[in-house]
Amino acid sequence: MRIGILYGGSSPERDVSLNSGRAIIKACNDLGYQVLALDPRAGLEPLIPELKNIDLVFNGLHGGDGENGVVSGFLDNLGVKYTGSDKNSSILCIDKHASKDLVLKEEILTPDWISLSLDDKLIENNLKYPLVVKPNSEGSTIGLTIIKDPSKLTDAVNLARKFDKKILLESFIAGREITVTVIGDSAYPIIEIIPKHELYDYECKYIKGMTSYVCPAEIQKTLSSSIQSIALDIHNLLGCRHYSRVDFRLDKEGNPWFLEINTLPGMTETSLVPKSAATLGINFNSLIQKIIDEALKT
Protein backbone atom coordinates (compact mmCIF):
# COMPACT_ATOMS: atom_id res chain seq x y z
CA MET A 1 0.00 0.00 0.00
CA ARG A 2 1.22 3.49 -0.90
CA ILE A 3 0.93 6.08 1.85
CA GLY A 4 1.54 9.77 1.33
CA ILE A 5 2.68 11.71 4.40
CA LEU A 6 1.56 15.34 4.41
CA TYR A 7 3.84 17.34 6.68
CA GLY A 8 5.47 20.75 7.00
CA GLY A 9 3.14 23.15 5.23
CA SER A 10 3.09 26.90 5.75
CA SER A 11 1.35 27.42 9.11
CA PRO A 12 3.10 28.84 12.20
CA GLU A 13 3.34 25.22 13.38
CA ARG A 14 5.47 24.15 10.39
CA ASP A 15 8.51 23.16 12.46
CA VAL A 16 6.46 20.92 14.73
CA SER A 17 4.76 19.33 11.72
CA LEU A 18 8.14 18.63 10.12
CA ASN A 19 9.16 16.72 13.26
CA SER A 20 5.86 14.84 13.36
CA GLY A 21 6.16 14.01 9.68
CA ARG A 22 9.67 12.63 10.01
CA ALA A 23 8.53 10.33 12.83
CA ILE A 24 5.46 9.18 10.86
CA ILE A 25 7.57 8.58 7.72
CA LYS A 26 10.00 6.40 9.69
CA ALA A 27 7.15 4.44 11.27
CA CYS A 28 5.44 3.83 7.91
CA ASN A 29 8.72 2.68 6.41
CA ASP A 30 9.24 0.33 9.37
CA LEU A 31 5.72 -1.00 8.86
CA GLY A 32 6.57 -1.90 5.26
CA TYR A 33 4.49 0.67 3.40
CA GLN A 34 5.56 2.45 0.24
CA VAL A 35 6.00 6.01 1.50
CA LEU A 36 5.90 9.32 -0.31
CA ALA A 37 6.76 12.45 1.68
CA LEU A 38 4.68 15.48 0.66
CA ASP A 39 5.37 19.01 1.92
CA PRO A 40 2.65 21.38 0.66
CA ARG A 41 4.56 24.54 1.53
CA ALA A 42 4.00 25.83 -2.01
CA GLY A 43 0.32 24.80 -1.98
CA LEU A 44 -1.74 21.70 -2.63
CA GLU A 45 -2.26 21.92 -6.40
CA PRO A 46 1.28 20.79 -7.34
CA LEU A 47 0.71 17.61 -5.34
CA ILE A 48 -2.34 16.43 -7.32
CA PRO A 49 -0.42 14.08 -9.69
CA GLU A 50 1.27 12.40 -6.70
CA LEU A 51 -1.95 12.13 -4.66
CA LYS A 52 -3.82 10.36 -7.44
CA ASN A 53 -1.44 7.40 -7.12
CA ILE A 54 -1.73 7.09 -3.33
CA ASP A 55 -3.96 4.69 -1.38
CA LEU A 56 -4.02 6.74 1.82
CA VAL A 57 -2.77 10.12 3.00
CA PHE A 58 -1.52 10.40 6.57
CA ASN A 59 -2.17 14.03 7.46
CA GLY A 60 0.75 15.09 9.64
CA LEU A 61 0.13 18.81 9.24
CA HIS A 62 -0.55 21.03 12.26
CA GLY A 63 -2.52 24.27 12.30
CA GLY A 64 -3.42 26.38 9.27
CA ASP A 65 -4.91 24.71 6.20
CA GLY A 66 -3.89 21.28 7.46
CA GLU A 67 -6.25 21.52 10.41
CA ASN A 68 -8.90 24.04 9.38
CA GLY A 69 -10.72 21.90 6.80
CA VAL A 70 -8.95 23.12 3.65
CA VAL A 71 -6.75 20.04 3.24
CA SER A 72 -9.48 17.57 4.19
CA GLY A 73 -11.90 19.23 1.75
CA PHE A 74 -9.24 19.14 -0.97
CA LEU A 75 -8.61 15.44 -0.42
CA ASP A 76 -12.33 14.70 -0.37
CA ASN A 77 -12.68 16.39 -3.76
CA LEU A 78 -9.90 14.18 -5.12
CA GLY A 79 -11.52 11.07 -3.65
CA VAL A 80 -8.41 10.29 -1.58
CA LYS A 81 -8.69 8.59 1.82
CA TYR A 82 -6.88 10.33 4.66
CA THR A 83 -6.31 10.17 8.40
CA GLY A 84 -7.96 12.63 10.74
CA SER A 85 -11.27 14.46 10.92
CA ASP A 86 -13.23 15.48 7.85
CA LYS A 87 -13.77 19.02 6.58
CA ASN A 88 -16.83 19.92 8.67
CA SER A 89 -15.39 18.62 11.91
CA SER A 90 -12.03 20.29 11.27
CA ILE A 91 -13.70 23.66 10.65
CA LEU A 92 -15.67 23.32 13.88
CA CYS A 93 -12.83 22.09 16.08
CA ILE A 94 -10.25 24.68 15.08
CA ASP A 95 -12.80 27.41 15.90
CA LYS A 96 -12.46 27.57 19.69
CA HIS A 97 -15.53 29.79 20.08
CA ALA A 98 -17.77 27.48 18.04
CA SER A 99 -16.54 24.27 19.67
CA LYS A 100 -16.81 25.70 23.19
CA ASP A 101 -20.31 26.96 22.42
CA LEU A 102 -21.46 23.52 21.28
CA VAL A 103 -19.85 21.79 24.26
CA LEU A 104 -21.45 24.26 26.67
CA LYS A 105 -24.88 23.54 25.19
CA GLU A 106 -24.34 19.91 26.21
CA GLU A 107 -23.71 21.12 29.79
CA ILE A 108 -20.02 20.23 29.69
CA LEU A 109 -17.92 22.68 31.68
CA THR A 110 -15.79 25.13 29.73
CA PRO A 111 -14.31 28.42 31.02
CA ASP A 112 -16.38 31.57 30.48
CA TRP A 113 -15.18 33.55 27.50
CA ILE A 114 -15.68 36.61 25.37
CA SER A 115 -15.14 36.39 21.61
CA LEU A 116 -13.87 39.53 19.89
CA SER A 117 -13.71 40.28 16.19
CA LEU A 118 -11.77 43.27 14.85
CA ASP A 119 -14.78 45.59 14.99
CA ASP A 120 -15.88 44.58 18.49
CA LYS A 121 -15.28 47.02 21.30
CA LEU A 122 -13.62 45.66 24.42
CA ILE A 123 -15.36 46.76 27.64
CA GLU A 124 -12.56 46.31 30.14
CA ASN A 125 -14.52 46.94 33.32
CA ASN A 126 -16.48 43.71 32.74
CA LEU A 127 -13.39 41.53 32.86
CA LYS A 128 -12.19 39.40 35.77
CA TYR A 129 -8.55 38.42 36.19
CA PRO A 130 -6.51 36.24 35.70
CA LEU A 131 -7.49 36.07 32.06
CA VAL A 132 -6.32 34.00 29.09
CA VAL A 133 -6.07 35.88 25.79
CA LYS A 134 -5.60 33.76 22.69
CA PRO A 135 -6.30 33.56 18.96
CA ASN A 136 -9.53 31.78 18.12
CA SER A 137 -7.99 29.43 15.55
CA GLU A 138 -4.39 28.65 16.50
CA GLY A 139 -2.74 25.79 18.36
CA SER A 140 0.49 25.15 20.27
CA THR A 141 -0.29 28.17 22.52
CA ILE A 142 0.79 30.45 19.66
CA GLY A 143 -0.24 34.01 20.48
CA LEU A 144 -1.56 33.02 23.92
CA THR A 145 -1.00 35.08 27.08
CA ILE A 146 -2.13 34.66 30.68
CA ILE A 147 -2.55 38.09 32.25
CA LYS A 148 -3.13 39.02 35.89
CA ASP A 149 -2.68 42.78 35.48
CA PRO A 150 -5.19 44.85 33.44
CA SER A 151 -2.30 47.01 32.20
CA LYS A 152 -1.06 44.02 30.17
CA LEU A 153 -4.36 43.50 28.37
CA THR A 154 -3.70 45.66 25.31
CA ASP A 155 -0.38 43.98 24.59
CA ALA A 156 -1.97 40.53 24.95
CA VAL A 157 -4.83 41.44 22.62
CA ASN A 158 -2.42 42.86 20.03
CA LEU A 159 -0.29 39.71 20.16
CA ALA A 160 -3.27 37.41 19.68
CA ARG A 161 -4.52 39.50 16.76
CA LYS A 162 -1.24 38.98 14.92
CA PHE A 163 -2.40 35.40 14.41
CA ASP A 164 -6.17 35.72 14.04
CA LYS A 165 -8.75 38.42 13.41
CA LYS A 166 -10.94 36.78 16.03
CA ILE A 167 -9.64 36.30 19.58
CA LEU A 168 -10.90 34.88 22.86
CA LEU A 169 -10.69 36.35 26.33
CA GLU A 170 -11.21 33.35 28.57
CA SER A 171 -11.41 32.93 32.34
CA PHE A 172 -8.29 31.30 33.75
CA ILE A 173 -9.03 28.07 35.64
CA ALA A 174 -6.53 27.41 38.41
CA GLY A 175 -5.65 23.76 38.71
CA ARG A 176 -3.95 20.88 36.92
CA GLU A 177 -3.35 20.66 33.19
CA ILE A 178 -4.54 17.33 31.79
CA THR A 179 -5.17 15.87 28.37
CA VAL A 180 -6.95 12.81 27.01
CA THR A 181 -6.13 10.96 23.79
CA VAL A 182 -8.99 9.42 21.84
CA ILE A 183 -8.33 6.78 19.18
CA GLY A 184 -11.27 5.17 17.44
CA ASP A 185 -13.94 4.73 20.08
CA SER A 186 -11.56 4.53 23.05
CA ALA A 187 -10.23 7.15 25.45
CA TYR A 188 -6.64 6.48 26.48
CA PRO A 189 -4.94 7.10 29.86
CA ILE A 190 -4.98 10.70 31.06
CA ILE A 191 -1.72 12.65 31.07
CA GLU A 192 -1.01 15.37 33.61
CA ILE A 193 1.25 18.10 32.21
CA ILE A 194 3.57 19.89 34.65
CA PRO A 195 5.55 22.61 32.81
CA LYS A 196 8.54 24.45 34.23
CA HIS A 197 6.97 27.72 33.10
CA GLU A 198 3.67 28.97 34.53
CA LEU A 199 2.20 28.34 31.09
CA TYR A 200 2.54 25.15 29.02
CA ASP A 201 3.95 27.30 26.24
CA TYR A 202 5.68 26.53 22.95
CA GLU A 203 9.08 26.09 24.63
CA CYS A 204 7.70 23.72 27.27
CA LYS A 205 5.87 21.70 24.64
CA TYR A 206 8.74 21.10 22.28
CA ILE A 207 12.00 21.28 24.24
CA LYS A 208 13.02 18.18 26.14
CA GLY A 209 13.21 18.61 29.89
CA MET A 210 10.98 21.67 30.04
CA THR A 211 7.92 19.69 31.15
CA SER A 212 7.19 16.69 33.36
CA TYR A 213 4.45 14.28 32.37
CA VAL A 214 2.55 11.91 34.62
CA CYS A 215 0.71 9.13 32.84
CA PRO A 216 -1.57 7.74 33.96
CA ALA A 217 -2.31 10.93 35.86
CA GLU A 218 -2.69 10.51 39.62
CA ILE A 219 -6.44 10.96 39.65
CA GLN A 220 -8.97 8.90 41.58
CA LYS A 221 -10.20 6.05 39.39
CA THR A 222 -13.87 7.05 39.24
CA LEU A 223 -13.01 10.65 38.35
CA SER A 224 -10.46 9.49 35.77
CA SER A 225 -13.07 7.31 34.06
CA SER A 226 -15.53 10.22 34.09
CA ILE A 227 -13.01 12.55 32.43
CA GLN A 228 -12.21 9.95 29.79
CA SER A 229 -15.92 9.55 29.10
CA ILE A 230 -16.34 13.33 28.74
CA ALA A 231 -13.38 13.44 26.33
CA LEU A 232 -14.93 10.71 24.18
CA ASP A 233 -18.29 12.51 24.26
CA ILE A 234 -16.63 15.73 23.06
CA HIS A 235 -14.76 13.87 20.30
CA ASN A 236 -18.06 12.43 19.06
CA LEU A 237 -20.08 15.61 19.60
CA LEU A 238 -17.69 17.59 17.41
CA GLY A 239 -17.72 14.95 14.70
CA CYS A 240 -14.09 13.90 15.06
CA ARG A 241 -12.82 10.66 13.60
CA HIS A 242 -9.81 8.34 13.88
CA TYR A 243 -8.00 10.22 16.68
CA SER A 244 -7.90 13.45 18.64
CA ARG A 245 -6.60 14.93 21.88
CA VAL A 246 -8.88 16.76 24.31
CA ASP A 247 -7.35 19.32 26.69
CA PHE A 248 -8.77 20.16 30.12
CA ARG A 249 -8.00 22.05 33.31
CA LEU A 250 -8.85 20.10 36.47
CA ASP A 251 -9.79 22.50 39.28
CA LYS A 252 -9.22 21.95 43.01
CA GLU A 253 -12.73 20.54 43.42
CA GLY A 254 -12.06 17.88 40.78
CA ASN A 255 -14.11 19.49 38.01
CA PRO A 256 -12.70 19.07 34.46
CA TRP A 257 -13.01 22.19 32.29
CA PHE A 258 -12.81 21.67 28.53
CA LEU A 259 -10.29 24.00 26.84
CA GLU A 260 -9.97 22.76 23.27
CA ILE A 261 -9.70 19.72 21.05
CA ASN A 262 -6.82 18.92 18.70
CA THR A 263 -7.86 17.04 15.58
CA LEU A 264 -4.25 16.56 14.40
CA PRO A 265 -2.22 16.28 17.61
CA GLY A 266 1.56 16.22 17.48
CA MET A 267 3.46 13.04 16.71
CA THR A 268 6.97 14.06 17.78
CA GLU A 269 8.99 12.16 20.36
CA THR A 270 7.86 14.66 23.03
CA SER A 271 4.20 14.53 21.92
CA LEU A 272 1.37 13.55 24.21
CA VAL A 273 -0.56 11.02 22.13
CA PRO A 274 2.42 8.63 21.85
CA LYS A 275 3.08 9.03 25.60
CA SER A 276 -0.47 8.01 26.45
CA ALA A 277 -0.41 5.04 24.06
CA ALA A 278 2.93 3.88 25.46
CA THR A 279 1.31 3.54 28.89
CA LEU A 280 -0.81 0.74 27.40
CA GLY A 281 2.25 -0.90 25.85
CA ILE A 282 1.53 0.50 22.38
CA ASN A 283 4.77 1.60 20.72
CA PHE A 284 4.96 4.37 18.15
CA ASN A 285 4.83 2.12 15.10
CA SER A 286 1.78 0.31 16.48
CA LEU A 287 0.12 3.65 17.22
CA ILE A 288 0.59 4.79 13.63
CA GLN A 289 -0.81 1.46 12.43
CA LYS A 290 -3.88 1.91 14.65
CA ILE A 291 -4.56 5.34 13.14
CA ILE A 292 -4.09 3.95 9.62
CA ASP A 293 -6.50 1.11 10.41
CA GLU A 294 -9.11 3.61 11.66
CA ALA A 295 -8.75 5.65 8.45
CA LEU A 296 -9.13 2.59 6.23
CA LYS A 297 -12.49 1.81 7.88
CA THR A 298 -14.01 5.08 6.58
For 17-62, the pLDDT digits (tens) are 999 999 999 999 999 999 999 999 989 999 999 998 999 999 999 9
Q: Is the pLDDT of residue 204 over 80?
A: no
DSSP state of 188: P
Higher-confidence position of 27 and 119: 27
What is the pLDDT at residue 110? 98
- CA distance linking residue 17 with residue 221, whole number of Å: 34
The confidence band for 209, taking pLDDT boundaries of 50, 70 and 90, is: confident
The mean pLDDT of the chain is 93
Cβ-proximal residues to 121 (8 Å cutoff; 6+ apart), any chain: none
Q: pLDDT tens digits for 66-114?
A: 999 999 999 999 999 999 999 999 999 999 999 999 999 999 999 999 9
- Contact 157/133 with Cβ under 8 angstroms? yes
Q: Is the pLDDT of residue 257 over 90?
A: yes
**8-24 mean pLDDT:** 94
**273-287 mean pLDDT:** 96
Q: Is the pLDDT of residue 207 over 90?
A: no
Q: 96-105 vs 87-94: helix axis angle to the nearest 10?
A: 90
Question: For the chain, what are the domain ranges?
Answer: 2-84, 92-109+175-297, 113-171
What is the pLDDT at residue 211? 86
Integer-rounded Cα Rg, in Å, for the chain is 19
- Contact 198/146 with Cβ under 8 angstroms? yes
Does the domain at residues 2-84 carry the CATH identifier 3.40.50.20? yes
Catalytic residue annotation: 13, 140, 206, 245, 247, 260, 262, 266
- Contact 178/200 with Cβ under 8 angstroms? no
What is the pLDDT at residue 140? 65
- CA distance linking residue 294 with residue 184, whole number of Å: 6
Please state which architecture CATH assigns to domain 113-171.
2-Layer Sandwich (3.30)
The confidence band for 252, taking pLDDT boundaries of 50, 70 and 90, is: very high
Residue 222 CA, chain-centre distance (Å), reads: 26
Taking alpha carbons only, the member of 298, 295, 229, 255 closest to residue 28 is 295
Q: Is the pLDDT of residue 228 over 70?
A: yes
Amino acid at 2: R
Taking alpha carbons only, the member of 51, 99, 53, 71 closest to residue 10 is 71
Domain range 92-109+175-297, its CATH number among 3.50.50.60, 3.30.365.10, 2.40.10.10, 3.30.470.20: 3.30.470.20
Cβ-proximal residues to 39 (8 Å cutoff; 6+ apart), any chain: 6, 7, 8, 9, 18, 21
- CA distance linking residue 95 with residue 49, whole number of Å: 31
Instruction: Return the C-alpha torsion angle 276, 27, 73, 81, nearest 10.
Output: -110
Scored b (16 or more CB within 10 A) or e, 167-193 reads: bbbbbebebbbbbbbbbeeebbbbbbb
Q: Out of 42-56, 135-149, 178-192, 221-235, which region has the weakest mean confidence (pLDDT)? A: 135-149
Residue 60 CA, chain-centre distance (Å), reads: 12
The confidence band for 255, taking pLDDT boundaries of 50, 70 and 90, is: very high
